[in-house]
C-alpha cells in the first residue's frame, strides 16, 4: 500500500504533467497553487488520495452508486458508432431516474456541440447533460480568477463558448493563456501562445490528454502542446479537466451530489477517468472498449473499483439489481 501511495504521488502519474500536483502535503483547505491562485476543496473527500486495495465486484459498485459520470469517446462511442449496449444503458438510467452526466475532456467541441453530436447518434441529450473540460475551464476562470482577456488556443466552437461566457479573446493585452484541444491549430497560434507563456502570464489547459481516439487510431491531443511548451520554456499549465479537482467540482455541482463515494466514473482512460476516480474517491469503472488494453492496465499499477469489457456489462449487471 505504501508503494501504491508513493506511485500515485509521482509526477509521472495522473495526467502526466505537473498541473496542481505536488510532492509535499498541502494544507487541508487547499489543493494546489499556480499563478497565485488557489483551488479550494469543497467535496466530502480528504485531500489525500483514497486508495483501493482490492477489486470490488461490479454488482457491489453499482449497488452503492447513486449517480454516474460517463466518458464519451471510447466509452459510449468510437467515431460515429455507438458501442454495444450504450443506448440501452442510458435508457435504463433514465427509466430508473438515476442521475448521470456526460463528461468529456475533449474540448474541441462546445457543450452545445456535444449535445448535438449525441443527438445525432440517437442519444437524447441537452446541454445540461454535458460537461466538457472547456466548460469546466470557463467555470473555474469565472469563479476563481479575475482574468477576462484570454489568449485561447482552441477551435471556433470553443472560442464561441468562451465569448458567450463574457471573455475577450485577444493576444494584445492577454491576461492568461488557455490551451484547448485545437483541431484547427496553426503555427501562428502556437507561436503566439509560446510568446505569452515565455513572458510568464498565467497559463491554463482545459485538459492534458496526450491522445484522442478516432476510428483509425490515436491522434495527438492537447498534451503534445503542453509537452512542447514545457520542454522549451520549462512551464506547465494549471490543468482544469479530468483528473483534476475543478472538473469534479463542476460535475458534483451539476449532479447535486457532493459525496463522491456514491458516484461512479465510467471511462476508458487510465490517466484521466480512473486517476480521477482514485484521487477523488469515486467508484472507478474501467471499460476496455477504448484506449486501454490489458498491457496498459498492468503497467499502470493501480486498481479500478471494477473493470469490464464495455458498457454492455454494466447494463447487464444493473438490470439484475
Longest dimension (CA), the chain: 59
Q: Strand, helix or coil at 318?
A: helix
> 77-78 and 81-82 as β-strands: parallel, antiparallel, unpaired?
antiparallel
pLDDT by residue (tens digit) across 220-229?
999 999 999 9
> Is the peptide bond between 243 and the residue preceding it cis, with omega within 30 degrees of 0?
yes
CATH code, domain with 203? 3.40.50.1000
Model confidence, pTM: 0.81
Q: What is the pLDDT of residue 143?
A: 97
For residues 310, 316, 318 and 321, what is the CA-based torsion angle, rounded to 10 degrees?
-150
Q: Are 179 and 215 in contact (CB under 8 A)?
A: no
How many whole angstroms separate alpha carbon 11 and alpha carbon 153?
25
pLDDT by residue (tens digit) across 296-305?
999 999 999 9
Q: How many domains does the chain have?
A: 1
For residue 310, what are the domain limits? 1-321
Q: Are 66 and 98 in contact (CB under 8 A)?
A: yes
pLDDT by residue (tens digit) across 121-132?
989 999 999 999
Q: How confident is the model at residue 212 (pLDDT cuts 50, 70, 90)?
A: confident
Find the length of the chain: 321
pLDDT by residue (tens digit) across 276-315?
999 999 999 999 999 899 999 999 999 999 999 999 999 9
Enumerate residues 6+ apart whose C-beta is below 8 A from 192. 151, 171
Amino acid at each position: 500500500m505504501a508503494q501504491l501511495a508513493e506511485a500515485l504521488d509521482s509526477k509521472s502519474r495522473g495526467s502526466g504533467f505537473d498541473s496542481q500536483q505536488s510532492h509535499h502535503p498541502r494544507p487541508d483547505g487547499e489543493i494546489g497553487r499556480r499563478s497565485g491562485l488557489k483551488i479550494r476543496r469543497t467535496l466530502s473527500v480528504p485531500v489525500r488520495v483514497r486508495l483501493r486495495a482490492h477489486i470490488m465486484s461490479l454488482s457491489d459498485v453499482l449497488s452503492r452508486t447513486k449517480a454516474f459520470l460517463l466518458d464519451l469517446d471510447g466509452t459510449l462511442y468510437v467515431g460515429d458508432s455507438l458501442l454495444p449496449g450504450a443506448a440501452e444503458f442510458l435508457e435504463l438510467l433514465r427509466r430508473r431516474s438515476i442521475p448521470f452526466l456526460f463528461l468529456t475532456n475533449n474540448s474541441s467541441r462546445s457543450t452545445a456541440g456535444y449535445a448535438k453530436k449525441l443527438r445525432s447518434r440517437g442519444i437524447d441529450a441537452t446541454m445540461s447533460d454535458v460537461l466538457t473540460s472547456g466548460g469546466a475551464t470557463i467555470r473555474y476562470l469565472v469563479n476563481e480568477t479575475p482574468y477576462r482577456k484570454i489568449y485561447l488556443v482552441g477551435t471556433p466552437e470553443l472560442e464561441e463558448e468562451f465569448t458567450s461566457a463574457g471573455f475577450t479573446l485577444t493576444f494584445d493585452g492577454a491576461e492568461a493563456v488557455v490551451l484547448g484541444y485545437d483541431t484547427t491549430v496553426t503555427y501562428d497560434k502556437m507561436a503566439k501562445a509560446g510568446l505569452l507563456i515565455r513572458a510568464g502570464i498565467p497559463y491554463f489547459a482545459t485538459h492534458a490528454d496526450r491522445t484522442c481516439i478516432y476510428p483509425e487510431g490515436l491522434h495527438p491531443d492537447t498534451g503534445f502542446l503542453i509537452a512542447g511548451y514545457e520542454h522549451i520554456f520549462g512551464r506547465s499549465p494549471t490543468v482544469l479537466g479530468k483528473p483534476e479537482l475543478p472538473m469534479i467540482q463542476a460535475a458534483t455541482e451539476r449532479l447535486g451530489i457532493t459525496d463522491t463515494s456514491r458516484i461512479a466514473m465510467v471511462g476508458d482512460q487510465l490517466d484521466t477517468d480512473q486517476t480521477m476516480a482514485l484521487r477523488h474517491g469515486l467508484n472507478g469503472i474501467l471499460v476496455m472498449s477504448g484506449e486501454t488494453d490489458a498491457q496498459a492496465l498492468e503497467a499502470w499499477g493501480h486498481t479500478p473499483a471494477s473493470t469490464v469489457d464495455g458498457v454492455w456489462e454494466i447494463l447487464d449487471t444493473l438490470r439484475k439489481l
